Amino acid sequence: MMNLHNLPPSAILIFGALLLPLMPKQLRNLWCVVLPAAAFVWVWQVPLGHEFAISFLDFQLELVRVDRLSKAFGYIFTLNATIGLIYAFYVKRWAHHAAALIYIGSSLGVVFAGDLITLYFYWEAMAVFSTFLILFRGLEGSKKAYGAALRYVLVHVAGGLLLVMGLCICYQKNGGDLTFSAELFKDPHLGSWLVLVGFLVNAAAWPLSAWLPDAYPEATVTGGVILSAYTSKTAVYTLLRGFPGYEILIPLGCIMAMYGIIYALLENDMRRILAYSIVNQVGFMVVAAGIGSEWAINGAVAHAFCHIIYKALLWMSAGAVLYMTGKSRCTDLGGLYRYMPWTMVFGTIGALAISAVPGTSGFTSKSLTIHAAEQAHLFWPWLVLEVASAGVFLHAGIKFPYFVFFAKVKDWTLEKADIGEPPWCMRIGMALMAFLCIFLGVYPEPMYAILPYQDVFQTDPYQVFTAGHLVSQFQLLMFSGLVFFLMLPMLRRTNTIAIDTDWLYRRIVPMFYRFTDWSLNGINRWTAALVVDRLIPRLNHFFARGPYRVWVRVNMPFARLNRSMGEVEEFSARRFFYRQAMLGILPIGVTAFLAVVGLLILFFA
Amino acid sequence: MSEETREQETVATPPAAPKHGGFDPGLIRKLWIALGVACALPVIAELFVDRHHGHGEHFPVDWGFGFYAVLGFLACAGSILLAKGLGLFLKKNEDYYDHDEPS
């Protein structure tokens, strides 16, 4: 019997997705939930240390490599996919599901890839198939989504190019071995920097971050839920695997954490607020990768695990609101608590979890990263992470639910008569995620048990639930909440957007385009006028008529010798020779003589 | 002042929006009291808890009583002021990029 563990989990999802159009319509959506669930079982069953490679050309492609790190990400990716596709059960179009499944399958491929060539193939597949999740909204009629999808795929193709350039250099330096491990990038050289930048593009590291808040909020309702989990978290995985202890990641992550907060505070679109808070949260994980200690890696994995759950929950509740109201701007929303109470409860649980309120999964996961910064005696990163923790409560913990569900009393039935809770599948998806947020918040042991480094839990008995930690966390959060309501007038929403680094390629590059259009096409027109319209005809004239003139010049002295000529005779003689040359009726002797002269020139030259 | 009036125009709700977003002022007052209590409780609790006991390393900046309350307050007030300040430069109308979209 074939060993099922050699079947990569990516293959389950990708080939399963390709079967979708062949299935009866009633079974398709069920099949979409079964596939990631099957992949989850695969991750659960596969033994640690399992490897499976195939030969392709001259390369050994390691399709499956299982260790604790890849397994932890495998668990959360498949779990989130299962619940995400339950949420998406109402979507009738199979192509939406197929794109999502192939995208998720590719991200699993990245996580379980043992070498960088395999990883690269999956990496590009992720970029391509995730684009469809945005593009489908464009097909539903959103012109903005169409533009955002184009920018999204261009940024990722550029990132992929950097990655492949770096891989080529690493391949040369390393004597043809591209096994993906921290060893490969131990000595920083151009190749490892290029690979790092390629990974950081997907991690939405500032200033390469603008694609995320540009594209995700334009995705379909379910596309946003799926997108929020995979691209940035596979990038976090690659950083943890390949670049732990790269110190540049610490300040970079700190910038991301603060940048996410500031922009989320400026934003008006609820899904864009959530997109910026992804950058903020991934900042924590990037800092942890930069610290690189065993606690930090554990913290980053735990944080990624919980983040995927509560961020999916937040995107689900925002998606439900968008689906029911068709609106996504805070200025258009508010007062929905009366019409969508369950969505409000679930969304608020997600908001509390992302804010790391004790009793939710954010508290049990984010604390590990902050603890790692303390252990490493990194004062500034620690301070920034604490400040960012307070800021998360501000922008995602309170601002999102406040402006969407509360803020004002509004009679929504005037705008939409059938306003109410979203379809049952959405409510089930949100309920499952909300359950996980609280379950992991009060009983984090199952999650801690799958973290990569288990020894540190023995050597450094760190307790999350100490009285001191609870007190400090509640102080931090409650006073953040106090500031929010004290400064509420300053936070009033306006119908504006905030320009981000994508301004460079949305404004400066078009300017550059127009400049090159003006300058290069200007040169073109000028050259055309000068060379094509004037110089070429003249040259043409010169070369066409030149030989005739030579003929006239050669013959005229002989004609003058024969008889003396007046002006009129001279002119008619010239005409005669000119016409003779033009019509090609030359006396043979002359032609032969000229040919001999020509050959002699060629011979001596 | 001009910034203020521009905001007034662009806000979707009518200018004569009811105070407290239309909520009962009594309810708002109760919520404020609840928030005050929620802020006071963890500060009072710190009197009975040694935060530094058995909780890893601590940086010298953590002076002890009420540190996290002050940190949370200053961090958020600072973030909002910074965002407000940057907003003067970064906030643009929603149609800012519109003519760049492919048609």
pLDDT of A400 strictly over 60: yes
Considering only the beta carbons, identify the residue of A478, A490, A491 that sits closest to B39.
A478
pLDDT of B9 strictly over 70: no
Inter-chain contact A491–B80, Cβ cutoff 8 Å?
Answer: yes
Mean pLDDT of chain A: 88
User: What number is the average pLDDT over the span B4-19?
Assistant: 51
pLDDT of A345 strictly over 70: yes
Residue B8 has what pLDDT?
46
Give the pair of three-digit tokens for residue A489: 């007038």
Give yes or no for B92 touching A (CB within 8 A): yes
Q: Which of residues 234-263 of A touch B (CB under 8 A)?
A: 258, 261-263
Q: A543 falls in which pLDDT band (50, 70, 90)?
A: confident
The closest alpha carbon to A209, from A498, A499, A501, belongs to: A501
Give yes or no for B59 touching A (CB within 8 A): yes
Cβ-contact A395, A261 below 8 angstroms: yes
Which chain B residue has the Cα nearest residue A510?
B100
User: What number is the average pLDDT over the span A353-363?
Assistant: 91
Testing the interface with B: which of A474, A501, A506 to mutate, by most B Cβ within 10 A?
A: A474
Inter-chain contact B61–A463, Cβ cutoff 8 Å?
Answer: no
Rg, Å, chain A Cα set: 35
Helix (H, G, I), strand (E, B) or coil at A564: coil
Considering only the beta carbons, identify the residue of A329, A479, A507 that sits closest to B73.
A479
Give yes or no for A510 touching B (CB within 8 A): yes
In terms of Cβ atoms closer than 10 Å to its own Cβ (0-12, 13-18, 19+), residue A308 is: buried
**Dist. CA A237–CA A234, nearest whole Å:** 5
Residue linked to tokens 């939930």: A33
Inter-chain contact B54–A466, Cβ cutoff 8 Å?
Answer: yes
Inter-chain contact A331–B53, Cβ cutoff 8 Å?
Answer: no
Considering only the beta carbons, identify the residue of A394, A408, A478 that sits closest to B21.
A408
ipTM value of the model? 0.77
Residue A132 has what pLDDT?
92
Inter-chain contact B101–A144, Cβ cutoff 8 Å?
Answer: yes
First to last CA, chain A: 82
Inter-chain contact B75–A474, Cβ cutoff 8 Å?
Answer: no
Q: Which has more pLDDT, A510 or A386?
A: A386
Residue B54: left (phi > 0), alpha (psi -120 to 50), or beta?
left
Residue B16 has what pLDDT?
53
Inter-chain contact B90–A408, Cβ cutoff 8 Å?
Answer: no
pLDDT of A79 strictly over 90: yes
User: What number is the average pLDDT over the span A141-150?
Assistant: 85
Considering only the beta carbons, identify the residue of A262, A474, A492 that sits closest to B83.
A262
Give yes or no for A331 touching B (CB within 8 A): yes
Q: Which has more pLDDT, A461 or A576?
A: A576
Q: A379 falls in which pLDDT band (50, 70, 90)?
A: confident
How does DSSP classify residue A429? Answer: H
* Out of A207-221, A322-336, B15-29, B32-46, least confident range: B15-29
Residue B7 has what pLDDT?
47
Give yes or no for A459 touching B (CB within 8 A): no
Residue B17 has what pLDDT?
58
User: What number is the average pLDDT over the span A461-466?
Assistant: 79
Inter-chain contact B68–A468, Cβ cutoff 8 Å?
Answer: no
Residue A445: left (phi > 0), alpha (psi -120 to 50), or beta?
alpha
β-strands A51-56, A59-65: how paired? Answer: antiparallel
Give the pair of three-digit tokens for residue A500: 């981000």
Chain B partners within 8 Å of A332 (Cβ): 12
Which chain B residue has the Cα nearest residue A460?
B56
pLDDT of B22 strictly over 80: no
Q: B99 falls in which pLDDT band (50, 70, 90)?
A: low
Mean pLDDT of chain B: 74
Inter-chain contact A379–B59, Cβ cutoff 8 Å?
Answer: yes
Q: Cβ of A436: how many Cβ atoms within 10 Å?
A: 24
Give yes or no for B16 touching A (CB within 8 A): no
Give yes or no for B82 touching A (CB within 8 A): yes
pLDDT of B1 strictly over 50: no
Chain B partners within 8 Å of A407 (Cβ): 21
In terms of Cβ atoms closer than 10 Å to its own Cβ (0-12, 13-18, 19+), residue A583 is: exposed
Residue A599 has what pLDDT?
92
* Out of A10-14, A61-65, A577-581, B17-21, least confident range: B17-21
Q: Which has more pLDDT, A351 or A581?
A: A351
User: What number is the average pLDDT over the span A195-213?
Assistant: 91
Inter-chain contact A468–B83, Cβ cutoff 8 Å?
Answer: no
**Dist. CA A371–CA A462, nearest whole Å:** 9
Chain A partners within 8 Å of B80 (Cβ): 265, 394, 483, 487, 490-491
In angstroms, what CA-CA distances link A517 with A147, A503, A508, B99? 22, 20, 14, 18
User: What number is the average pLDDT over the span A332-360?
Assistant: 91
- In chain A, where the domains are located: 1-243, 248-498, 507-604
Please list, in sequence order, all residues whose beta carbon lies within 8 angstroms of the beta carbon of residue A197, skipping any fewer than 6 positions away: A159, A162, A166, A208
pLDDT of B2 strictly over 60: no
User: What number is the average pLDDT over the span A96-108?
Assistant: 93
Per-residue pLDDT of A591-601, as tens digits, reads: 788 889 999 99
Cβ-contact B74, A256 below 8 angstroms: no
Per-residue pLDDT of B40-75, as tens digits, reads: 888 888 888 877 655 555 677 777 788 888 888 898
Considering only the beta carbons, identify the residue of A409, A476, A510 that sits closest to B23.
A409
* pTM score over 0.90: no
CA dihedral sign, ordered A217, A317, A111, A362? positive
Residue A49: left (phi > 0), alpha (psi -120 to 50), or beta?
left
Share of chain A above pLDDT 90, in %: 46
> Looking at CA atoms only, how far is residue B93 from chain A in angstroms?
5
pLDDT of B12 strictly over 50: no
> Looking at CA atoms only, how far is residue A525 from chain B in angstroms?
26
Q: Which has more pLDDT, A379 or A345?
A: A345
* Out of A38-42, A60-64, B45-49, least confident range: B45-49
User: What number is the average pLDDT over the span A351-370?
Assistant: 91
Inter-chain contact B53–A468, Cβ cutoff 8 Å?
Answer: yes
Inter-chain contact B73–A462, Cβ cutoff 8 Å?
Answer: no
Per-residue pLDDT of A280-298, as tens digits, reads: 999 999 999 999 898 999 9
Per-residue pLDDT of A221-271, as tens digits, reads: 999 999 999 999 999 999 999 999 899 999 999 999 999 999 998 888 999
Residue B52 has what pLDDT?
67
> Looking at CA atoms only, how far is residue B21 from chain A in angstroms?
4
User: Amino acid identity, residue A139?
Assistant: L
Cβ-contact A155, A229 below 8 angstroms: no
Considering only the beta carbons, identify the residue of A391, A494, A507 that sits closest to B75.
A391
Please list, in sequence order, all residues whose beta carbon lies within 8 angstroms of the beta carbon of residue A294, skipping any fewer than 6 positions away: A452, A453, A455, A456
Q: Which has more pLDDT, A286 or A141?
A: A286
**Dist. CA A476–CA A455, nearest whole Å:** 31
Inter-chain contact A331–B97, Cβ cutoff 8 Å?
Answer: no
Give yes or no for A493 touching B (CB within 8 A): yes
Give yes or no for B87 touching A (CB within 8 A): yes
Which chain B residue has the Cα nearest residue A509?
B100
Inter-chain contact A484–B76, Cβ cutoff 8 Å?
Answer: yes
Q: Which has more pLDDT, A339 or A497?
A: A339
pLDDT of B103 strictly over 50: no
Number of DSSP helices (H) and strands (E) in chain B, helices first: 3, 1
**Dist. CA A397–CA A400, nearest whole Å:** 7
Helices A361-375 and A270-291, packing angle to 10 deg: 40
pLDDT of A489 strictly over 70: yes
Chain A partners within 8 Å of B32 (Cβ): 485
Helix (H, G, I), strand (E, B) or coil at A61: strand
Testing the interface with A: which of B80, B88, B96, B100 to mutate, by most A Cβ within 10 A?
A: B80
